[in-house]
């Protein structure tokens, strides 16, 4: 005989245990707070930082313009890079050998050369290709555009950043696509979807969960890479305005570097918030954990069930 109690279950009282203590966390926190306080005090009293100049230029109109230009460069080039990256990644994985090779060569060139060199090259395009003609090769032309007459450093900077970034995005997206189990493509195919539709409707949405965290990295990295557009040369981004224009005029490099750094931090923080919500959206269905809404519905059903028994 075994001692198994088959009488109806009684309801024991909920456990009220003493929580585990963590004294060393408190000690570590105190040490860190003291160190930070010392650093802040030192920075506040050090003349070299010139905090009044920092304050004066933090809300300066030229700086605002620089922030706005940097943001536009980041957003436009990332959007182009993501669209182009998806195309390149899908080409790389497609059954079509022509697409695969084109994509491979693109990645080879754009990942294999430094971004600074590429940006300088984009800046030289109006010199190399003085005008654009559209027409029959070796025949008559219908359309003519004089590149040297245009002032297009912003456009060239955006394109330069975007085409370089697209190569990296392509690899991130490819990794995401490869992370989706093969059975997903198979199930979609068996339902009569074409390869393209299966990619768009089944594989890419699932790949997003893997794609978004490194893409968030890339956006933040792009925000800072925009400071290289001086190679084009484009001079109206945050870094150029703060250091080349204002700091050179005022002979105050330190506070203006801090102004630029602080603004980069502000924008990065905003981007991180956006990333948090995107990640949450694309992680739906991943966890067995029920959402708050589902839990409420279940609890309600349970209450109704119990009420019915009594």
Partner 1 sequence: MKPVVDETPTPMVKAESVCKSFGALEVLKGITLEIGRGEVLVLVGPSGSGKSTFLRCINHLEQVNAGRLYVDGDLIGYRDRGSKLHEMSPRDAAKQRRDIGMVFQHFNLFPHRTALENIIEAPIHVKRVKKNDAVARGKDLLNQVGLSEKAEAYPAQLSGGQQQRVAIARALAMNPKLMLFDEPTSALDPELVGEVLEVMKKLASEGMTMVVVTHEMGFAREVANKLVFMDGGVVVESGPPREVLASPKHERTKAFLSKVL
Cα–Cα nearest to 163, from 125, 129, 205: 125
How many chain residues bind partner 1 (CB under 8 A)? Answer: 25
Residue 305 makes contact with partner 1 by CB under 8 A: no
Rounded distance between C-alpha atoms, residue 284 and residue 211, angstroms: 15
For partner 1, give the closer residue by CB, 127 or 287: 287
Residues 144-183, mask of contacts with partner 1 (x by CB under 8 A): -------------------------------------x-x
Q: Would you tell me how many other CB atoms lie within 10 Å of the CB of residue 199? A: 22
Candidates 75, 87, 155, 193; binder of partner 1 (CB under 8 A) is 193
Verify binding: residue 292, partner 1, rule CB under 8 A: no
Interaction of residue 94 with partner 1, rule CB under 8 A: no
**Least separation in angstroms between CB 33 and partner 1:** 42
Q: By CB under 8 A, name the one of 13, 128, 286, 310 that touches partner 1.
A: 286
294 binds partner 1 (CB under 8 A): yes
Shortest Å distance, C-beta 190 to partner 1: 4
Cβ 176 to partner 1 shortest distance, Å: 13
Does residue number 205 form part of the binding site for partner 1 (CB under 8 A)?
A: yes
Residue 123 to residues 109, 126, 224, Cα–Cα distance (Å):
18, 7, 19
240 binds partner 1 (CB under 8 A): no
Q: Are 209 and 226 in contact (CB under 8 A)?
A: no
CB 286 to partner 1: min, Å? 7
Nearer to partner 1, 162 or 208 (CB): 208
Q: Cβ closer to partner 1: 205 or 233?
A: 205
Residue 161 makes CB contacts below 8 A (sequence gap 6+) with 73, 77, 81, 115, 119, 222, 225, 226, 229
């Amino acid at each position: 005989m075994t001692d198994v109690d088959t009488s109806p279950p009684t309801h024991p009282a909920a456990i009220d245990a003493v929580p585990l203590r963590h004294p060393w966390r408190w000690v570590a926190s105190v040490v860190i707070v003291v160190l930070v306080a010392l650093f802040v005090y030192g920075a506040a009293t050090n003349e070299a930082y010139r905090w009044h100049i920092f304050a004066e230029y933090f809300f300066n109109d030229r700086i605002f313009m620089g922030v706005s230009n940097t943001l536009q460069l980041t957003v436009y080039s990332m959007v182009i890079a993501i669209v182009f990256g998806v195309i390149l990644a899908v080409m790389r994985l497609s059954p079509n050998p022509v697409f695969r090779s084109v994509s491979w060569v693109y990645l080879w060139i754009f990942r294999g050369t430094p971004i600074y060199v590429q940006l300088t090259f984009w800046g030289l395009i109006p010199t190399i290709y003085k005008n654009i003609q559209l027409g029959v090769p070796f025949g008559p032309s219908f359309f003519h555009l004089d590149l040297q007459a245009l002032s297009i450093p912003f456009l060239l900077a955006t394109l330069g950043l975007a085409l370089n970034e697209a190569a990296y995005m392509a690899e991130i997206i490819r990794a995401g696509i490869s992370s989706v189990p093969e059975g997903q493509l198979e199930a979609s195919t068996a339902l009569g979807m074409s390869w393209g539709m299966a990619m768009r409707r089944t594989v890419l949405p699932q790949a997003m969960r893997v794609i978004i965290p490194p893409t968030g990295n890339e956006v933040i990295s792009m925000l800072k890479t925009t400071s290289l557009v001086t190679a084009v040369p484009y001079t109206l981004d945050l870094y150029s305005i703060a250091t080349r224009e204002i700091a050179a005029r005022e002979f105050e490099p330190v506070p203006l570097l801090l102004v630029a750094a602080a603004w980069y931090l502000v924008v990065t923080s905003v981007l991180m918030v956006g990333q948090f919500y995107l990640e949450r959206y694309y992680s739906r269905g991943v966890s067995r954990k029920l959402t708050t809404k589902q839990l409420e519905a279940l609890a309600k059903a349970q209450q109704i069930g119990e009420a019915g028994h009594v």
